[in-house]
Amino acid sequence: MEEIYAKFVSQKISKTRWQPLPPGSLQTAETFATGSWDNEENYVSLWSIGDFGNLDSDGGFEGDHQLLCDIRHHGDIMDLQFFDQERIVTASSTGCVTVFLHHPNNQTLSVNQQWTTAHYHTGPGSPSYSSAPCTGIVCNNPEIVTVGEDGRINLFRADHKEAVRTIDNADSSTLHAVTFLRTPEILTVNSIGQLKIWDFRQQGNEPSQILSLTGDRVPLHCVDRHPNQQHVVATGGQDGMLSIWDVRQGTMPVSLLKAHEAEMWEVHFHPSNPDHLFTCLKMDPFVSFHQVKLFNELLTFLSHSISNQAHVHQSVISSWLSTDPAKDRIEITSLLPSRTLSVNSLDVLGPCLVCGTDAEAIYVTRHLFS
Amino acid sequence: VETVLIPGVNSRKHQMCFDWGPGEMLVCETSFNKKEKSEMVPSCPFIYIIRKDVDVYSQVLRKLFNESHGIFVGLQRIEEELTGKSRKSQLVRVSKNYRSVIRACMEEMHQVAIAAKDPASGRQFSSQVSILSAMELIWNLCEILFIEVAPAGPLLLHLLDWVRLHVCEVDSLSADVLGSENPSKHESFWNLVTILVLQGRLDEARQMLSKEADTSPASVGMCRIMGELMRTMPILSPGNTQTLTELELKWQHWHEECERYLQDCTFASNPHLESLCKIMLGDEAALLEQKELLSNWYHFLVTRLLYSNPTVKPIDLQYYAQSSLDLFLGGESSPEPLDNILMAAFEFDIHQVIKECSIALSNWWFVAHLTDLLDHCKLLQSHNLYFGSNMREFLLLEYASGLFAHPSLWQLGVDYFDYCPELGRVSLELHIERIPLNTEQKALKVLRICEQRQMTEQVRSICKILAMKAVRNNRLGSALSWSIRAKDAAFATLVSDRFLRDYCERGCFSDLDLIDNLGPAMMLSDRLTFLGKYREFHRVYGEKRFADAASLLLSLMTSQIAPRSFWMTLLTDALPLLEQKQVIFSAEQTYELMQCLEDLTSGRPVHGGPDTQQCQDDDIETTKVEMLRLALARNLARAIIREGSLEGS
């Protein structure tokens, strides 16, 4: 893998996210945000890989990422998402959810809104108040959904002081991650290996569907939804197993891939190229994270046949849902040199990839598919 | 000796107490008063933490720690592959890697020093830069002498490179002079030429001389001769195949030629050129005149060797070094710690080098990594220290312990402990249990580290702590998942008891999502299995599969996994099944139920006494038992009849 820029930044990075580009823009990604963890003072930082006037001999951009601005953050940054072009939402280990606003003209970050007691074990009213870390966030302008170690799900709306909806005790174990399926539906994964689907249109505090792996209750750490097909999700577990689920059918995963030897911290479908799936984990001797690519001749056939017919009753089958991964070619490539500590987070946008590690380094590449 | 003032404590009036920690010291004020009577309450209510190692908290140095960690781990890993001839070049490469990391750090610290807002911190950063520079200087010399093990001949070339790298005013001076309109008339022109000669950069010196020749016709002849001398000086070049003896002969010849020119007073009219000639002859007095340009004794040493004994052997270095130091200092000042370290290196006394560095530097980073590298070069004798491990291990342990005192860098420390064969594992076990765990994610990372090293005791203890926290926060699902991970049957029993107690109090199960989906984890403890099966009974009952529910209930009681306290509840659960229109329990099953009831009632002592509440409870109990007996009897009757008649058999 050529052209990976590494930079040591003196803080362990827990999350990295690309700033979303304006819709219809032809630029490539330029700015990303990072959150740190395990420091006495943690920071949310914005970095830029844009042109600083340095062009190398090929005329390409040269040099590694530069810090634009940062702001102090209370507690570890457990999750970080861009709410829109200018606002960043973070989940803290103190149970607080914060919205930061980026001011591009003077390159500063400021706190725009904060929900300090979003997650707690015993409530703010009682004398033995104890907060709980908020573990996951997902945004869909104007809504923000958060989950935490207290098993609680909150639905916030930007600029509303109180939570719009709270599901207390949604889960008896820790909720690790959350993603939107369709707009009123979310999907959470927890530490006893279950996926739960919640419908905000319904009044009760019960999930509308529960899916789980049989066998050992292996905690699931991360989840991501296919960008085009809203019923396909991928989850990563504590044992390094990558599972693909179809939430419309059955309660079992469609395919399982033993991708790593240890916890998978993040899984991402590539937003514009969903045949590619990215995962990252703690180091094992030979690979740090994978690019899993699935070719499926069946999909090609289907897409041809669909275009030739006027009416199609059969729904388009996602390439990921074919049941035999051994038959269809899956290519797994390691993208980082080994010997680093745990890769905690990664994000992809177009041909650009950024990831952050516990070795206090950030890696950026702009040529993912070359 | 450093004095640190504790703010808020009146040290003249009150006494302070302290206690040592792994990397820090706790200090607080006591109520003991030196002069007067002791007061009840100390006036300063704080406890202070004093940290000795401030380097660990430096932003820039953190990069050094992280990058060098990667190099260290890489070195340990390739150790097995290092064999034969390539071993030395690989080790040299590792050494150069370390050095480039130090230089990068130095560069960045320099930038920070320049950008510093207040002069005090600017000075602090600058002093850090000079410490880093000294470290790189020492490391470089160690690389030349111990790792590269340069023999006579190449040794001098390496030393020249070493000096050129560290006395870098030459480049800025050169830029100054060459950039001016008339270089040879520049005030520092001759300084520049001299220092080029001192550093053995004779080609560049020749170029400068040609500029002088162009502008000053009177000295053209002299410059030409000098230039020729410079050009013809024999020097060992890397690819050269001439032997050392040949080189010596040629050099001797050249030396005599220079001597002749000097004796003939060829350069008499130009004192600069004359002094250059003397320098090139290795004249000590002439060299000492250039003290300011040389700036330190090791530069003096190398220049002296270049022009008087270029084929010096490594073992002779120390004599030259000692005399150079003495001559350079000239009795005016005494050697500094850096000088002592370098001298020890020239004497090939590795242990002395490490010892002096440990004393002089505030952080174990340098000595730990250097010693480890030298150990890989098989240079350290393994004389054991009094507690059994060797020096390399001792230093690595100290360094790693320092890392563990930092809230974030502990992850680096783990790998260092891994490569300490004697005490590494034990140290890691002790340290890793004491890392504060405020989020589950951090706990998972720590647990993974323990599991990878088969530290089952630590895994258990950490999981127990987390499970206990979860129980206290009423997160029973989390508690169960932690006890499953630790395979801790006792804790699983505790959690199941909590569930059962909640059921008894509330009449329904909480956290059904967990109990319904236990899977194979149910087998971890009997109580947990009971919980899962009991819930299954409720579910089956809810689906109106009464026969299955009945046999399940019976098996729960007869298989002895139900806790005795729960038997009454189970029997009470059997009541609706007994009261059903159709006969669910067979005669055999009814007999077993009756047996259980008898076991239960016979085991209980008779409650006597005036307590009315007790009496009421007894009444309820007796009523329940009576109802059960009645229901069982009726069921038995119906079952016998059904089984006895033709359809039932």
DSSP B421: T
pLDDT category of residue B34 using cuts at 50, 70 and 90 = low
Mean predicted confidence (pLDDT) in B43-60: 76
Residues in CB range of A346: below 8 A, 6 or more apart: A16, A266, A268, A278, A280, A289, A353, A354, A355, A356
Q: How far is CA B296 from CA A41, B215, B301, B563, in A?
A: 43, 33, 9, 84
Same domain? B179 vs B261: yes
pLDDT in tens, A20-65: 888 877 777 789 999 999 988 899 999 998 754 444 444 344 467 8
Q: Is the distance from CB of B126 to CB of B113 less than 8 angstroms? A: yes
Q: Which residue of A has its CA nearest to B484?
A: A217
DSSP H or E segment with residue A302: helix A297-308
Instruction: Given CATH 2.130.10.10, say whether it is the number of domain A5-302+314-365.
Output: yes
The pLDDT of residue A40 is: 87
**Letter for the amino acid at B343?**
M
Of A172, A191, A342, the CB nearest to B445: A342
Q: How far is CA A349 from CA A68, A367, B244, B437, B484, in A?
A: 19, 11, 62, 34, 39
* ipTM for the whole complex: 0.83
The pLDDT of residue B64 is: 92
Q: Which residue of A has its CA nearest to B515?
A: A172
Mean predicted confidence (pLDDT) in A114-121: 91
The pLDDT of residue B139 is: 95
**pLDDT higher than 60, residue B290:** yes
Q: Is the distance from CB of B510 to CB of A172 less than 8 angstroms? A: yes
- For residue B411, the chain A residues in CB contact (below 8 A) are 12, 341, 358
| Residues A6, A49: Cα–Cα separation, whole Å | 12
Of A207, A216, A359, the CB nearest to B519: A216
Q: Is B422 inside a domain boundary? A: no
Residue B519 to residue A172, Cβ atoms within 8 A? no
**Beta-bridge partner residues of A276:** A293
**pLDDT higher than 70, residue B148:** yes
Q: What's the domain range around B527? A: 439-543
- For residue B463, the chain A residues in CB contact (below 8 A) are none
Q: Does B30 touch chain A (CB under 8 A)?
A: no
Of B63, B66, B514, the CB nearest to A192: B514
Report which of residues B597 and B450 the model is more confident about.
B450
Residue A282 to residue B445, Cβ atoms within 8 A? yes
Of A37, A173, A262, the CB nearest to B448: A262
Taking the CB of residue A285, how many other CB atoms lie within 10 A of it? 8
Of A38, A215, A359, the CB nearest to B519: A215
Q: Does B545 touch chain A (CB under 8 A)?
A: no
Mean predicted confidence (pLDDT) in B170-191: 83
The pLDDT of residue A14 is: 92
Mean predicted confidence (pLDDT) in B41-60: 74
Of B63, B475, B481, the CB nearest to A217: B481
Report which of residues B465 and B390 the model is more confident about.
B465
**pLDDT higher than 70, residue B107:** yes
- B250/chain A closest Cα distance in angstroms: 46
Q: Which residue of A has its CA nearest to B479?
A: A173
Residues in CB range of A101: below 8 A, 6 or more apart: A86, A87, A109, A110, A111, A112
Burial degree of A4 (CB within 10 A; 0-12, 13-18, 19+) = middle
Same domain? B528 vs B515: yes
DSSP H stretches of helix in A81-210: none
pLDDT category of residue B35 using cuts at 50, 70 and 90 = low
Same domain? B535 vs B456: yes
pLDDT category of residue B38 using cuts at 50, 70 and 90 = low
Residue A174 to residue B521, Cβ atoms within 8 A? no
Of B70, B476, B521, the CB nearest to A359: B70
DSSP B79: G
SS3 A221: strand
Same domain? B529 vs B560: no
The answer for B 298-327 residues in CB contact with A (under 8 A) is none
Q: Is B7 inside a domain boundary? A: no
- B648/chain A closest Cα distance in angstroms: 40
**pLDDT higher than 50, residue B257:** yes
Cα-Cα-Cα-Cα dihedral sign, residues B510, B513, B514, B519: positive
Mean predicted confidence (pLDDT) in B135-146: 94
pLDDT in tens, A229-269: 888 888 888 887 888 888 887 777 777 777 667 778 888 88
Q: Does B523 touch chain A (CB under 8 A)?
A: no
Out of B233, B253, B281, pick the residue that ends a domain. B281
Lowest mean pLDDT among B9-13, B229-233, B640-644: B9-13
The pLDDT of residue B216 is: 81
- What global pTM score does this model have? 0.83
pLDDT in tens, B431-440: 998 899 988 8
Q: Does B531 touch chain A (CB under 8 A)?
A: no
Q: Strands A255-258 and A352-357: what pairing? A: unpaired
Q: Is B320 inside a domain boundary? A: no
Q: Does B478 touch chain A (CB under 8 A)?
A: yes
End-to-end CA gap in chain B: 99
Out of B381, B405, B429, pick the residue that ends a domain. B405
**Letter for the amino acid at B77?**
R
- For residue A148, the chain B residues in CB contact (below 8 A) are none
Same domain? B91 vs B107: yes
Residue A207 to residue B519, Cβ atoms within 8 A? no
Q: Is B6 inside a domain boundary? A: no
Mean predicted confidence (pLDDT) in A189-202: 89
Same domain? B527 vs B563: no
Cis peptide before A325 (omega within 30 of 0): no
Residue B481 to residue A149, Cβ atoms within 8 A? no
The answer for B 36-65 residues in CB contact with A (under 8 A) is 59-60, 62-63
pLDDT in tens, B552-605: 888 888 887 888 778 888 888 888 888 887 888 888 888 888 888 888 888 655
Q: Is the distance from CB of A118 to CB of A149 less than 8 angstroms? A: no
- B287/chain A closest Cα distance in angstroms: 44
| Residues B375, B392: Cα–Cα separation, whole Å | 7
Report which of residues B139 and A23 the model is more confident about.
B139
Residue of B64, B439, B483 to mutate, testing the A interface (most A Cβ within 10 Å of its Cβ): B439
Of A10, A132, A190, the CB nearest to B62: A10
Taking the CB of residue A325, how many other CB atoms lie within 10 A of it? 17
Mean predicted confidence (pLDDT) in B374-383: 78
Mean predicted confidence (pLDDT) in A317-329: 47
- B553/chain A closest Cα distance in angstroms: 25
Residue A121 to residue B474, Cβ atoms within 8 A? yes
Q: How far is CA B395 from CA B140, B159, B619, in A?
A: 20, 28, 74
